[in-house]
């Protein structure tokens, strides 16, 4: 709770200095994380609030990048409605499922990944990570909206959506944070493919193989990414 409160305070400070839909959405995500942690502290379910935290945080970051495509006002207004929906529906999981599915459709329609997937190298890899993640967000939302297979819905969102975002952004963020070089190689698709294949098994109800596959995908990604690190590059970051 203290960590979430600190993140919320930091985001509110950023919002005060630079008021925008993106920074407001980031603050909303931090508030959702705090609400989930408070719920857990009192013995209540926190999963819906945590989903809202991830969806709002990732959505805000992608909204920021979508500005380069000069989308119309309708795109931003519709995103505002979805962000508000994520803040008010965690207590009604079916309604939240509808909002999550709608957010996935928004991301499919307006995200920059639709453009970068046509490129090559690292930009294309990142785009595939994002688009695959949006697919699982839609699946998780649809399952939640139907009130069916709650375990599958949670894994579709927390593993299929969130970890796909991690796989996609790590080659960009980690070099900048750790001040190391990172050279792209198509081998990064191997853990990504294993991740989504194992999520498909988990969602289909094949729990044990799916769970082992999830763990193996994470381990394979760590090992694969480590082999692409080049400390001689310093803080130059990821290369194509």
Q: Structural domain boundaries of the chain?
A: 1-91, 120-240
Q: Which two tokens stand for residue 118?
A: 């046509």
Residue 228's pLDDT is: 86
Average pLDDT of the residues in 178-200: 92
Q: Please, which contacts does 171-174 make with residues 24 or more away whose CB atoms are closer than 8 Å?
A: 171/122, 171/125, 171/126, 171/225, 171/228, 171/238, 172/122, 172/126, 172/237, 172/238, 174/225
Average pLDDT of the residues in 194-220: 95
Q: What is the pLDDT of residues 60-81, one digit of tens each?
A: 999 887 777 777 788 889 999 9
Ranges 15-24, 166-175, 199-208: which has the least confidence: 166-175
pLDDT at 8 over 70: yes
Q: How confident is the model at residue 183 (pLDDT cuts 50, 70, 90)?
A: confident
Residue 239's pLDDT is: 58
Q: What is the pLDDT of residues 96-138, one digit of tens each?
A: 999 999 999 999 999 888 889 999 999 999 999 999 999 999 9
Q: How confident is the model at residue 41 (pLDDT cuts 50, 70, 90)?
A: very high
Apex 103 CA angle, 98 and 107, nearest 5:
150
CB of 233 closer than 8 Å to CB of 180: yes
Q: Give dist(CA 224, CA 174) in Å, integer.
A: 14
Q: Could you tell me what percentage of the chain is helix, strand and coil, using 3-state DSSP and rounding each to the nearest 5? A: 80, 5, 15
């Amino acid at each position: 709770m203290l960590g979430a409160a600190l993140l919320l305070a930091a985001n509110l400070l950023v919002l005060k200095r630079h008021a925008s839909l993106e920074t407001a959405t980031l603050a909303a995500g931090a508030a959702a994380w705090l609400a989930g942690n408070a719920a857990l502290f009192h013995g209540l379910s926190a999963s819906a609030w945590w989903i809202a935290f991830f969806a709002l945080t990732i959505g805000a970051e992608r909204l920021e990048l979508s500005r380069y495509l000069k989308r119309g006002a309708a795109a931003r207004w519709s995103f505002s409605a979805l962000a508000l929906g994520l803040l008010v529906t965690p207590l009604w999981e079916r309604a939240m499922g509808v909002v999550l599915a709608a957010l996935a459709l928004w991301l499919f329609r307006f995200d920059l990944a639709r453009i970068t997937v046509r490129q090559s190298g690292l930009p294309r890899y990142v785009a595939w990570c994002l688009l695959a993640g949006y697919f699982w967000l839609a699946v998780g939302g649809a399952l939640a909206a139907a009130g069916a297979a709650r375990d599958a819905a949670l894994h579709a969102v927390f593993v299929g959506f969130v970890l796909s975002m991690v796989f996609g952004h790590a080659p960009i963020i980690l070099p900048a944070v750790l001040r190391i070089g990172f050279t792209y190689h198509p081998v990064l698709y191997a853990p990504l493919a294993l991740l989504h294949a194992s999520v498909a098994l988990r969602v289909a109800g094949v729990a044990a193989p799916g769970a082992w596959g999830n763990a193996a995908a994470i381990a394979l990604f760590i090992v694969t990414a480590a082999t692409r690190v080049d400390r001689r590059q310093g803080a130059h970051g990821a290369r194509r």
